[in-house]
């Protein structure tokens, strides 16, 4: 299924589908659950546009490359080109917020980490970024105080609070802009809370934020 950014009502967003800039270990509890040190600065990696697919009604996971973990994250849609901006300039560059799954081939990632290799093979494969429709920023009273969650087959898996981020959303985007130019249509994935686990075919997922729920299935 071809992906195009869209609003909750299904209306297409007139922005291209760009890269996804992701941050690792932005929640201390998640770093701890994987036995990783809490970083002193954001750990950044990229997913290409070909990794982005619609979250709904279903998405596929690789079947022959070991366990595939869900990592539920607040996704930020960038609405204009930004480079080397200040934190104060970030809000005007945000077109919308959504939820994403940073799908991770965990067995493969662990092997790559042991060898000192990059993570992209485990993080940036086709379909590695299922993405929800976007919600306009005014529906978020305060993105720095926002709760989001994931249930799998009716069981709570992840519950995140953006106030627990090591680097908050606006600061994260300003930091990224010092290194990568962010273009209209790019996505920023802001990190995952604890509770990551393997997905299986047939799993039913519900991702929720600010009163909106997105229902999906692993095909």
Beta bridge pairs of residue 77: 96, 187
Task: Please report the pLDDT score of residue 1 as a whole number.
Answer: 63
The two structure tokens encoding residue 121: 């093979």
Listed residue (20, 80, 61) closest to 44, CA to CA: 20
Give average pLDDT by consecutive 10-residue segment, the chain, 219 residues.
Answer: 92 98 88 72 96 98 95 98 98 98 96 93 98 96 96 97 96 98 98 96 98 97
For residues 46 and 124, give the distance between their C-alpha atoms in angstroms, rounded to a whole number. Answer: 7
- What is the phi/psi pair of residue 41, to 5°? -140, 155
Task: Please report the pLDDT score of residue 3 as a whole number.
Answer: 95
Please report, for the chain, the start and end positions of each structural domain, with discontinuous segments joined by +: 20-217
For residues 208 and 159, give the distance between their C-alpha atoms in angstroms, rounded to a whole number. Answer: 9
| H or E element that contains 120 | helix 120-123
Is the pTM here over 0.85, yes or no?
yes
Listed residue (192, 171, 197, 181) closest to 81, CA to CA: 181
Task: Please report the pLDDT score of residue 5 as a whole number.
Answer: 98
Task: Please report the pLDDT score of residue 31 as a whole number.
Answer: 60
Contact 130, 103 (CB under 8 A): yes
Domain formed by 20-217, architecture: Alpha-Beta Complex (3.90)
Quick one: three-class SS letters along 177-209?
Answer: HHHCCECCCCEEECCCCCCCEECCCCCEEEEEE
Task: Please report the pLDDT score of residue 180 as a whole number.
Answer: 96
For residues 69 and 107, give the distance between their C-alpha atoms in angstroms, rounded to a whole number. Answer: 9
Task: Please report the pLDDT score of residue 29 as a whole number.
Answer: 73
């Amino acid at each position: 299924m071809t992906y195009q950014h869209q609003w909750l009502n299904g209306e297409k967003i007139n922005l291209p589908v760009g890269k996804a800039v992701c941050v690792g270990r932005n929640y201390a509890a998640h770093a701890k659950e994987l036995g990783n040190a809490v970083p002193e600065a954001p750990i950044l990696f990229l997913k290409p546009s070909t990794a982005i697919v619609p979250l709904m009604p279903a998405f596929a996971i690789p079947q022959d490359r070991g366990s595939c973990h869900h990592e539920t994250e607040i996704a930020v849609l960038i609405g204009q080109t930004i480079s080397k901006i200040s934190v104060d300039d970030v809000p005007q560059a945000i077109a919308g917020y959504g939820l994403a799954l940073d799908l991770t081939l965990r067995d493969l990632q662990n092997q790559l980490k042991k060898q000192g290799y990059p993570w992209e093979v485990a993080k940036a494969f086709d379909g590695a970024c299922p993405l929800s429709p976007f919600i306009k920023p005014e529906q978020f009273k305060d993105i720095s105080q926002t709760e989001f969650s994931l249930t799998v087959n009716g069981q709570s898996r992840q519950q995140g609070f953006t106030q627990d981020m090591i680097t908050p959303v606006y600061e994260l985007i300003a930091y990224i802009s010092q290194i990568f130019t962010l273009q209209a249509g790019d996505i920023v994935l802001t990190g995952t809370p604890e509770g990551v686990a393997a997905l299986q075919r047939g799993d039913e997922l519900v991702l929720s934020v600010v009163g909106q729920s997105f229902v999906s299935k692993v095909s």
